[in-house]
Chains A and B, each alone.
Chain A
Amino acid sequence: MISRVCMAAAALATAALVAVPAGAAEEDWQQVLDRARGQTVYFNAWGGSQQINDYIAWVADRVERLYGVELRHTKVSDTADVVSRILAEKTAGRAQGGSVDLVWINGENFAAMRRNALLGAPFAEDLPNFAFVDTAGKPTTLVDFTVPTSGLESPWGMAQLVFIHDTARLAKPPRDLAALLDHLAANPGRFTYPLPPDFLGTTFLKQALVGLVAEPDRLQHPSDEDFAEVTAPLWAYLDRLHPLLWRGGEAFAPSGASLIQLLDDGEVDIAFTFNPGAASAAIENGELPDTARTFVLKGGTLGNTHFVAIPFNSGARDAAMVVANFLLSPEAQLRKEDPRIWGDPTVLAMDRLPADDRIAFAALPRGIATLPPEALGTPILEPHASWTDALEAEWQRRYGR
């Protein structure tokens, strides 16, 4: 109840913050709310984590109660499938009533949707709660893998690559790529990464590339004819790494999420995740021992923002906007950051929030294995989205046999 009152207050405050005449924006949004009531939103979101699925189920419950919007979670294993499906619908001429109303997305999938004009009109900045977003302190909320979002996707959460180890088994983990190689030479088989094109597997390739490349700035521009030259140090590194990997590099972890299970089984010494709070959440949930801790590499790790976007042919655009707006609400963001629920860092700026919400965020337990912001360091920007496809194809050519 309190949070609902807060939200109403927040919506009013937002209306005042946005440059549009307050009354008009409020009226427009009221129309969106009116049209949204009774609509069904098919939310295509990665479904590999029970905690996230539970969180989305809670969101569905809330938007039903608050706005009369029915939210259905279509669990996908790879967001690329969703992009492919929407593209297929477009090529088949289905301009309305598409199968996807809202999609959890970022990076090369966003770039692909944008390139193929699958995203309709900008909406993110029309959301009342967008005014809370920390666009200044978290520039990746507006620039997705160097591609400007242009209001075509609305930020949902922050991500930064962190590594996890079990202190009971490995007290001092290797902190850079060279040390990782040394550790594996002494303990062969105790590390792996997910099979690219898995999102996290490709991220590992990019993290290694950023750490090995002569000029990291080169990666901020599209990949070009110098691809082989720029990436040569990465392949040289992987050629040395693979024989030392889990299963001798003959098999890879089937998914990003499975690394946590491998760590818990003791198959590997080090896992990694894109969610700095995931290790704490896993401990809470019985997936990791309470001796698990996280760390980042010297020189920093990749960071980005994940978003939700509305496809051009959604039949429930208004309701999808209502859901996107709710995802940005302090109520939803607070619950998402709670390590007992999901532990996904907020995209909101504390100094833009009402005092009550700020206090609530400050009171959140950080979680036993979560690093404080100063230890996380400044995230490294993602390379331009074009590197992703090129890396995945080259990896497949070299190691996919």
Chain B
Amino acid sequence: MAETVRPLKATERTIGRTARLAARPGGRLVFVPALTLALFLAPIGLGLIGTWAPAIGYLPALGGTALSLDPWRQLAAAPGLAGAVRLTLVTGFLSTALALALAFSLLAAWHGRPAFDRFRRLLGPLLAMPHAALAIGLAFLLSPSGWLARIVSPWATGWQRPPDLLLVQDPHGLALTLGLVLKEAPFLLLMGLAALNQIDAGRSVALARTAGYGPTMAWAKTVLPRLYPLVRLPVYAVLAYSLSVVDMAMILGPATPPPLAPLVLRWFDDPDLGHRFMAAAGACLQFALVAGAIAAWHGVERLVARLARPWLSAGGRGGGGALLRLVSGTAGTAAIAAAGLSVAALALWSLARRWRFPDALPGEWSLGNWMRSVDGLAPPAVTTLSVGLAATLIALALAVGCLEYERRAGIRPTTRALWLLYTPLLVPQIAFLFGIQVFLVAVRLDGSWLALTWSHLLFVLPYVFLSLADPWRRLDERYRRIGACLGAGPARVFWRITVPMLLRPILVAGAVGFSVSVAQYLPTLFAGAGRLSSLTTEAVGLAAGADRRVAAVFAFAQMALPSLGFMIALAVPAMLYRHRRGLQA
């Protein structure tokens, strides 16, 4: 395609200048970035202030008008606080480090091999899977009475009854760490893949190999040092998320004590409203913990960079990389298998009537769980769907507006803008959602559909923007100039050239945004105020209940919606462009 465009190159500069003179850069789009920032940074600022104030004793609605340090004293004396903080740090750092190691070792050992492309296709479904559904499925799989134990019992283990082992909700948070790694490694892998496109990794590796470096060593020495800065922000987002996760921690994490974020949530919900001051202080502590953790991670980055410098230039060639291929390949396959089996366990339980230990499969099957759940499933499914679609459409419109403005005005994206975009992903949710709730109650929007959609938008927008930005910026400008040459105005160029050519990334970004919305637990809890519930809040609630079969129905439904979104995102362009080979890739 690019070949045919090349003859135009001579004239392109002139045309570009003419086009720029003809229309004021950006036009009305100039307001979109400002609107976007206001829509999603203002609530976070407001929410943080609304959480900090009660932490120093100020919350007039509850009679707190004098500033005091009592909330912090209360917090320091809270039972289980030290254990909760320790658990939070261990699971947060460990899961981030493991997810990063898994993602990078897979890239180092497998990128460019045919097996990697097959593997890559499985990333989408993994990413689409909501945290809660994965956690529920994983618990069904791994607990002592779980599916794995059932498959190998009693013939291999002799177990007629489940062994009394603390495999899920273990006090060290290992099950929680595993769940986080399964969820975050694919995200980092995808971010790494996108970054590889920017640094021409293939040729660096090839060059290093001609100098006799082994494939892994070539990658580690020529690609990794340039790749890491590009995925730094996603890594921080993963770290922040792992340190403050609530829904997964409630299902897979221990309870005596839980990590800090669920503990703080417990205080917010205490019938004794006096606990809210302490909870606000706890939310601030969570904020400080995440900020400190990111700073510490950054410090380690610099340390590693300094220590590795001699090693980088020492000339060690390394071996064939077979060991790393084996280890990362095994770990990656195991991760995919665990996720796949978790989904299968959900599906089986949702169709089981009786399934006793140690049967490998349900003893009696039934569609009854689904039939009985229809009435209960419908309202949260409608909320999930409508909020998710609305938030995604708004996010798409804003992201496209920002990117178009950026392009037409010729602005280059800065690191600072990227940090702003990442703000909702770096600030722990619990640190500002309480403040937002106070604000929503004051303006009587709590429990409204509007508030819920807005709260989801905060998290949907960054992901939509991130997944759309790269393809948008990479679209060859010359296509649009051809359109302009043929007399089309900016609007016509946008609708007839930009959108059709970028339809696939736009739909994929929409599917990503929708899956992010579906997965939101804490925002739904706070903004929904108990009146609006989603498949996620229902599934998490049912996970602790009596009936594993019904929990499976809700978790499966929660998982199915975003997968459906991805399928549509892939099917629509394939159908529309079935006669245009160039647009199918």
On whether the beta carbons of B171 and A250 are closer than 8 Å, the reply is yes
On whether the beta carbons of B256 and A399 are closer than 8 Å, the reply is yes
On whether the beta carbons of B546 and A258 are closer than 8 Å, the reply is yes
Q: Which of B127-135, B269-277, B286-294 contacts A (4 or more CB under 8 A)?
A: B269-277
Q: Which of B16-24, B385-393, B527-535 contacts A (4 or more CB under 8 A)?
A: B527-535
A397 to B372, CA, bound (A): 41
Q: Which of A84-92, A206-214, A336-344 contacts B (4 or more CB under 8 A)?
A: A84-92
Q: Provide the residues of chain A in CB contact with B530, threshold 8 Å.
A: 44, 74, 76, 81-82, 85, 99
**Residues 520-577 (chain B) with a chain A CB within 8 angstroms:** 529-531, 533, 538, 541-550
Q: Smallest distance from the beta carbon of B279 to chain A beta carbons, Å?
A: 11
A378 at the A/B interface (Cβ < 8 Å)?
A: no
B340 at the A/B interface (Cβ < 8 Å)?
A: no
A251 at the A/B interface (Cβ < 8 Å)?
A: yes
A401 to B82, CA, bound (A): 8
Count residues on chain A whose CB falls below 8 Å from chain B CBs. 62
Q: Provide the residues of chain A in CB contact with B446, threshold 8 Å.
A: 99
Q: Smallest distance from the beta carbon of B467 to chain A beta carbons, Å?
A: 34
On whether the beta carbons of B273 and A84 are closer than 8 Å, the reply is yes
Given the known interface contacts A247-B166, A252-B256, the answer about A396 and B80 at a Cβ–Cβ threshold of 8 Å is yes
From A74, A76, A267, B145 is in contact (CB under 8 Å) with A267
Given the known interface contacts A48-B542, A75-B541, the answer about A286 and B256 at a Cβ–Cβ threshold of 8 Å is no
Q: Which of B96-104, B110-118, B350-358, B507-515 contacts A (4 or more CB under 8 A)?
A: B350-358
Q: Provide the residues of chain B in CB contact with A401, threshold 8 Å.
A: 79-80, 83, 256-257
Q: Smallest distance from the beta carbon of B264 to chain A beta carbons, Å?
A: 14
On whether the beta carbons of B166 and A250 are closer than 8 Å, the reply is yes
Given the known interface contacts A76-B530, A84-B269, A247-B164, the answer about A92 and B447 at a Cβ–Cβ threshold of 8 Å is no
Q: Smallest distance from the beta carbon of A63 to chain B beta carbons, Å?
A: 15
Tell which of A108, A252, A287 has the most Cβ of chain B within 10 Å.
A287
Chain B, interface size: which category? 35 or more
Nearest B-chain residue to A80, judged by Cβ: B271
From A94, A109, A265, B357 is in contact (CB under 8 Å) with A265
Q: Smallest distance from the beta carbon of B200 to chain A beta carbons, Å?
A: 51
Tell which of A44, A109, A189, A400 has the most Cβ of chain B within 10 Å.
A400
A195 to B366, CA, bound (A): 32
A398 to B428, CA, bound (A): 30
From B79, B171, B357, A396 is in contact (CB under 8 Å) with B79
On whether the beta carbons of A254 and B544 are closer than 8 Å, the reply is yes
Q: Provide the residues of chain A in CB contact with B529, threshold 8 Å.
A: 85, 99
On whether the beta carbons of B545 and A57 are closer than 8 Å, the reply is no
Return the CB mask of A272-293 against B: 1 if under 8 Å, else 0. 0000000000100111010000
On whether the beta carbons of A91 and B269 are closer than 8 Å, the reply is no
Q: Smallest distance from the beta carbon of A249 to chain B beta carbons, Å?
A: 9
Q: Provide the residues of chain B in CB contact with A248, threshold 8 Å.
A: 164, 166
A249 to B444, CA, bound (A): 44
B373 at the A/B interface (Cβ < 8 Å)?
A: yes
10 A-B pairs with least C-beta separation: A257-B546, A189-B164, A254-B544, A265-B145, A266-B161, A80-B271, A255-B544, A48-B545, A286-B353, A83-B271
On whether the beta carbons of B166 and A195 are closer than 8 Å, the reply is no
Q: Smallest distance from the beta carbon of A12 to chain B beta carbons, Å?
A: 34
From A53, A84, A108, A261, B270 is in contact (CB under 8 Å) with A84
A50 to B371, CA, bound (A): 12
Tell which of B79, B442, B529, B543 has the most Cβ of chain A within 10 Å.
B79
A51 to B372, CA, bound (A): 9
Q: Provide the residues of chain B in CB contact with A57, threshold 8 Å.
A: 375-376
A75 to B61, CA, bound (A): 26
A82 to B541, CA, bound (A): 15
Given the known interface contacts A261-B547, A287-B547, the answer about A266 and B273 at a Cβ–Cβ threshold of 8 Å is no
Nearest A-chain residue to B373, judged by Cβ: A50
**Residues 65-119 (chain A) with a chain B CB within 8 angstroms:** 74-78, 80-85, 87-89, 91-94, 99, 108-109, 112
